[in-house]
Structure 1
Amino acid sequence: MAAQKIVVAITGATGAIYGIRLLEALKECPDVETHLILSGWAEKTIALETNHSVEAVHKMASCSHDLLNMKAPVASGSFQVGGMAVIPCSMKTLAAIAHGLAENLIIRAADVMLKERKKLILVPRETPLSVIHIENMLAVTKAGACLVPPMPAFYNHPATIDDLVNHLVGRVMDQFGLSHNLSRRWCGINAP
């Protein structure tokens, strides 16, 4: 059985650890091949926010693609992939996806996901939201993308930042139908 290919794009929005942790989690899935794209600002954010080097993040992926390489396999609908996550997704990238402005490989690969009706998961990172942000979110949702904003859940009693990151990454993994043990699931409440 061929490996499921998943594109992981990390933009320059704060929260680079979400994309890094997703790569780590996907690496633990035996039948998943990851294709990584980093924006220029993602590289700066990784250095600013994490203890990971950009080179180490590239090594977490099965394959890395240059942001400006519009000849990469992920730029074509004929390249079979299971889907794509833009994690975190800057408002600039979200706006470009919403309006089909495929000026780089992240936006082109996202555009391919939409036109091929493949799973496109966007993890938008901004607060507060303007009307422009909300309208762009509505546009990508109408086009077929799934928005998974990094909103913490407290029913599982997170004790660390890792707990919060793992919960969000687990929700993204759920969207791809991939098994994981990243966080405790809601089991309901037993009323007295």
Structure 2
Amino acid sequence: MRRSFTALVTAGISALSLVTGATVASAAPQSTAPAQLSCTVVIDQFATHGPLGQNDQYVQVKNISQVQQDLSNFAIDASIGQSRVLTLATIPWGTVLQPGGVYLVANAQYSGPAPDQYWSGITLPDQVGVGLMRPPTAPVDGAATYANSPFVEGTPAAPQPPGLQPLALMRLTNSGDNAVDFQLRDRTPGRPGPVPPCGSTQLLTR
């Protein structure tokens, strides 16, 4: 009888330890998975002004994967303030971007190389966000120069400073932090920026 009672107490203590351990484990802080980086098409560069001031605005995306990407009906959007999101361009059906290729959209008064599309009636402020959206409204990649933009990734990039210089915020890396990835550089609209390919064969899906 004593042996059975001792065994019962031992089993009870073991069970209590298991319950206590489970409780502590569930109360421990849970790590948050990092946001998934785009390894297909990314914001390559954007400018809020240039040699013609705000007329020289543009946004360019780049295919950093190793396979062609179908951008049919994708949108390039801009955010202004906390709640205002505007579509700059909807990419036409049948548009396919080759590896390393770029797609350029620009203000109607833009003075650089001919873009793939123009937009009109929208002037981007220096505090802006830009995003590539998969139809109907799924984000693919984004960049922003203010923290409350729906397109910001990590810390916002520094806004483009005033002036008429031929500059743009250029993506140099793809870390998921806009402040790290985008730096002020000479603009190259129509030509891909220096962000390296990611080596992915992933395809954009709808």
Give the TM-score, by structure 2 length: 0.32
**Which structure shows the higher helix fraction?**
1
The structure richer in strand per residue is 2
